[in-house]
Amino acid sequence: MIPSSFADRATVARLTARMLLDIEAVHFNAAEPFTFASGMRAPTYIDCRKLISFPRIRSCLMDFLTCRVMEDAGLEAFDNVAGGETAGIPFAALVAERMALPMSYVRKKPKGYGRNARIEGAMSEGQRVLLVEDLTTDGGSKLSFVEAIRETGADCGHTAVIFYYGIFPETEPRLAEHGVKLHYLCTWWDVLAEARRESGFDAGTLDAVEAFLRAPRDWAPSA
């Protein structure tokens, strides 16, 4: 069913942050920081994949994301919804169902046999494709997926995610330079604000998280 209720952005951001905290998809640990694939260390980690196991929250957030895209891009702006391997696949399927559109997915790299394809499902030249993912940090992986979509002759000028880090100022300009508009529900700043409201973490941990968010590339754990 196509959702038709458009909540205001501040409410959506707060509720999304609340839901992510409720299912313990958010992890803060300043004493034993997490290490990302890039090698960066951080007191924060988020696992949006957990959402698939919580049907009520999952449904609500997919309604939010579908409405955000339709509000920003238009109700008739797309012909296909593509998910990025692997975390984006279930969310793309759920959004495609709500938008009454075909769904496909994009591999991170060709599978190495058979058709050696990166696109699975039906995608054709001239289609307007919405790329759906769970989250984005600096936008790099999104551009790889967009390139694979465009190689089919389809157009991809929009990507939608549940969670956007919101701490790397180059992310949205980088996507815009490649003709891609980012749509999202909440950021680390929204999660931090909600975490402070609920008092579920100690003040020292949240202060360390805020210090990281303000200068992520310069942050180091306290001795």
Full-model pTM: 0.94
- Assess if residue 115 is contained within a domain: yes
What percentage of residues in the chain have a pLDDT greater than 70? 96
What percentage of residues in the chain have a pLDDT greater than 90? 83
- Assess if residue 222 is contained within a domain: no
Domains identified in the chain, total number? 1
pLDDT attached to residue 115:
65
- Token code pair at residue 193: 């604000």
- Assess if residue 206 is contained within a domain: yes
What confidence tens digit (pLDDT) does each residue in 195-221 have? Answer: 999 878 999 999 999 999 999 999 888
- Assess if residue 107 is contained within a domain: yes
88 neighbors 133 (Cβ within 8 angstroms): yes
- Assess if residue 171 is contained within a domain: yes
Residue ranges of the alpha helices (H) in 83-137?
88-99
Host domain of residue 90: 9-214
- Assess if residue 76 is contained within a domain: yes
The CATH number for 44's domain is 3.40.50.2020
pLDDT attached to residue 110:
83
- Assess if residue 3 is contained within a domain: no
pLDDT under 70 in the chain at which residues?
A: 1, 4, 112-116, 222-223
pLDDT attached to residue 220:
80
- Assess if residue 22 is contained within a domain: yes
State how far the Cα of 163 lies from the Cα of 88, in Å rounded to an integer.
12
